[in-house]
Amino acid sequence: MEEPKQGAYMEVPILKQGAYLIATVQSALTDGDLLKLRDTLVVSVSKHRARGVILDLTALDVLDSFSTRTLRDLAHMIRLRGAEMVIVGIQPEVAFAMAQFGLTLEGISTTLDLEEGLAYLDGSTKPNRIA
């Protein structure tokens, strides 16, 4: 589903920290919210000349086939823009459901929390971009 009918958009704050962008999901996201976040992050990478993106999903209630596919696309698009994305904070219940369902986040790096996500990016991203 590429263009779901959208309700009100749930704003996901995106903070800039050095060469990284940190997007923190605050609550459950609709399909439209997730697509909007994807598009915003891909644009933000070049706007802020970011080397890494951290997507914090601690507050996300469910990862189903649509959201998993959208996150895989997002990670791929971020990489094509010359940056790396790491997903942090997937809750144990969500991981349990994804495993039962048979959903995978192939090609996406994940870490336990924000701190580990930052450490991961420090070790895996390219040198800072030329300003």
Partner 1 sequence: MEARSRIESPDVEREASTTVVSIHSDADIVAARQKGRELARSLGFSAGEATLVATAISELARNVVQYAIRGEVALWPVTSGRRRGIAISVRDEGPGIPDVDRALEDGFSTSGRLGLGLPGVRRLMDEIDIESTPGRGTLVCATKWRH
Which parts of this chain interact with partner 1 (CB under 8 A)?
1, 4-8, 28-32, 61-66, 69, 91-94, 96-98, 100-103
d(CA 35, CA 62): 15
DSSP for 39-75, written as a single string: HHHHHHHHHTT-SEEEEE-TT-----HHHHHHHHHHH
Q: How far is the CB of 42 from partner 1 (least distance, A)?
A: 20
Q: How far is the CB of 32 from partner 1 (least distance, A)?
A: 5
For partner 1, which is the closer residue by CB, 63 or 121? 63
For partner 1, which is the closer residue by CB, 91 or 110? 91
DSSP for 20-34, written as a single string: EEEEE--S---HHHH
Q: How far is the CB of 33 from partner 1 (least distance, A)?
A: 8
Residues 63/94, Cβ–Cβ less than 8 Å: yes
Q: How far is the CB of 92 from partner 1 (least distance, A)?
A: 7
For partner 1, which is the closer residue by CB, 63 or 83? 63
Angle between helical axes of 65-80 and 31-47 (0-180°, round to 10): 10
For partner 1, which is the closer residue by CB, 66 or 80? 66
